[in-house]
Amino acid sequence: MDFSNPKQRDVFFEVHSELPREGPGNKDCTARALSLAGQLPEAPSILDIACGPGMQTIHLAELLPDATIIAVDLNKSMADEARRRIASAGMSERITVELGDMASLAYSDATFDVIWCEGAAYNIGVERAIRNWKRMLKPAGIIALTDAVWLRKDPPPDLAEFWTAYPDMNNVESRQQIVKECGYKLKGNFILPETAWWADYYLPMKSRLQTLATRYKDDGEAMSVIDECSAEIDFYERFPDYYGYVFLVMSNL
């Protein structure tokens, strides 16, 4: 997919609009990651980076009822949707939604007890992300993020070719090493279960793609995006043992 092509970019966001989530995950995984973080302050301040439509933001607020959260996303439509869902959940007083670029966030140093980022750090690279975000953490603050990783060393050629779109994709050990090299203590990590890919992400996306395929059946540019998204789902359905998402939880030393 060519994000410099306005039509393809618009269709991509149309595919992803109205989905429950913008990547694999669920409340159980968010809760498990929080358990790895250990004891947090009584009323932690949290920054949810690339919040998308806000499902994990709401989960964080439910799991940490005394927390205050800033949820930030670069895409205005996603931020607007997150704001709508948060208001519907009755959490607008505890969660503020803002527009912002994860590569250049302007929050003050030592502001947050927790920085959260599910499924989006790859946009600037995990290493760059955790190096850039470190200054915003309080002493002993926590970063928790998910990232795509290889689970086996022998992916089929067509699968490996598809994932060249993410050239930084590597294995869990490489991500653990980056955490250490960037001056964090790894509190723990785990691979998201297959169920976390389907219920709130791929299954609703499948339905969305079917609708859009009918709408754009005679539009080659649009169909190239729809076909690529369909291929992504198909690859995971065929090869879930070869790759997945790792949840990394680390503390600021």
Over residues 52-81, the pLDDT tens digits come to: 999 999 999 999 999 999 999 999 999 999
Torsion of CA 100, 103, 109, 115, to 10 degrees: 80
For strand 137-150 and strand 68-73, is the pairing parallel, antiparallel, or unpaired?
unpaired
* Confidence label for 4 from pLDDT (cuts 50, 70 and 90): confident
CATH architecture of 21-193+241-252: 3-Layer(aba) Sandwich (3.40)
* Distance in angstroms (rounded) separating the CA atoms of residues 248 and 224: 33
pTM of this structure: 0.95
pLDDT in tens, 85-127: 999 999 999 999 999 999 999 999 999 999 999 999 999 999 9
Q: Where are the domains of the chain?
A: 21-193+241-252
Report how far apart, in Å, the C-alpha atoms of 107 and of each of 103, 137, 150, 221 are: 12, 10, 33, 39
